[in-house]
Amino acid sequence: MNIFLAGASGVIGRRLVVLLRKAGHDVTGTTRSETKAAALTTLGATAAVVDVFDLARLKLAVYAAQPDVIIHQLTDLPQDSDPKKIQAALEGNARLRIEGTRNLVAAAQANGVRRVIAQSVAFAYAPGGEPHAEDAPLDLAAEGVRRRTVEGVAALEQAVTQTPGIDGIVLRYGRLYGPGTWTEKPKGAAPLHVDAAAHAAVLALTRGRPGIYNVAEDDGEVTSEKARRDLGFDPAFRMDGGA
């Protein structure tokens, strides 16, 4: 299959390129950096240097790739967990989820790409009713920074799952840990190893009906039963074959 991977140079994206190429897929990966484009080429992807906020160029990049599936792994977060940096980045991340997702879906529509797989989060649920299944309400009554985050999540998920002509799959990832993330060990509710996150996106290429899937380790906060059943998700997956 031909895969258009938006956010290919990110923490999940880099692992996803390796897994996709290992599975025999052709990958066009986006980045805004020429330096990171060279790194993607080394991994076996065709690099597309494009800003997701530039809709015209994004449509052209998707047209050039002629993908069967678009995978949205774009985020706008700092490389470390410095609270000052995080606070400054959260607004950018919300904008990326709202406007960036809208542009990716528009590029998919313009080029006849039906299947879109997008990264969301499994920690935007309203309090109560744990473990949260996919039909639990999001925390839209939140205030401050969290409210903006939840608004971004809701906009992303609506664009991916409710746009005519798009068979959208949303992967609600838990709190990432492992190489390249803010922590090497599980931290906080609903943890998820970065390798298992990338593998879930590979599984979603051909498995699962359109809709929303929790993708996290079952710790009582959320349940990933649907992803286990329909996608074959295994939270113990590691790229080196270990658990």
Residue 37: the pLDDT is 96
Residue 151's domain is classified under what CATH number? 3.40.50.720
Assess if residue 241 is contained within a domain: no
- Give the residue with greater pLDDT, 79 vs 58: 58
Q: What is the pTM of this model?
A: 0.95
pLDDT at position 81 over 80: no
Task: Give residue 84's pLDDT band: very low, low, confident or very high (50, 70, 90).
Answer: low
Q: What is the mean pLDDT of residues 163-175?
A: 97
The b-or-e profile of 128-165 (16+ CB within 10 A means b, else e) is eeebbebebebbeebeeeeebbbbbbbbbbbbbbebee
Assess if residue 223 is contained within a domain: yes
ω into residue 131 within 30 of 0, thus cis?
Answer: yes
pLDDT at position 241 over 90: no
91-78-102 Cα angle (round to 5): 45
Residue 80: the pLDDT is 60
- pLDDT, averaged across the chain: 94
Residue 77: the pLDDT is 67
Assess if residue 130 is contained within a domain: yes
Assess if residue 239 is contained within a domain: no
Assess if residue 84 is contained within a domain: yes
**Number of domains making up the chain:** 1
Helix (H) or strand (E) holding 48: strand 46-49
Q: What is the pLDDT of residues 105-148, one digit of tens each?
A: 999 999 999 999 999 999 999 999 999 999 999 999 999 889 99
Instruction: Please answer whether residues 72 and 160 qualify as being in contact, where contact means their C-beta atoms are separated by less than 8 angstroms.
Output: yes
pLDDT at position 243 over 50: no
Residue 79: the pLDDT is 63
Assess if residue 17 is contained within a domain: yes
pLDDT at position 172 over 70: yes
Residue 185 identity (one-letter amino acid): K
Give, in order, the Cα–Cα distances in Å from 73 to each of 84, 97, 140, 171: 24, 10, 23, 10
Contacts of 46 (CB under 8 A, 6+ apart): 26, 27, 28, 29, 40, 65
Residue 8: the pLDDT is 97
Domain span at residue 154 reads 2-231
Assess if residue 90 is contained within a domain: yes
Q: What is the mean pLDDT of residues 17-44?
A: 96
User: Residue 38 carries which DSSP code?
Assistant: H
Assess if residue 240 is contained within a domain: no
Task: Give residue 169's pLDDT band: very low, low, confident or very high (50, 70, 90).
Answer: very high
187: tokens are: 């931290």
Q: What is the pLDDT of residues 180-208, one digit of tens each?
A: 998 999 998 999 999 999 999 999 999 99
The partner residues of 234 in beta bridges, in order of sequence, read none
Instruction: Please answer whether residues 3 and 20 qualify as being in contact, where contact means their C-beta atoms are separated by less than 8 angstroms.
Output: yes
CA dist 208 and 19 (Å) reads 19
CA dist 194 and 84 (Å) reads 24
Residue 224: the pLDDT is 98
Residue 213 identity (one-letter amino acid): Y
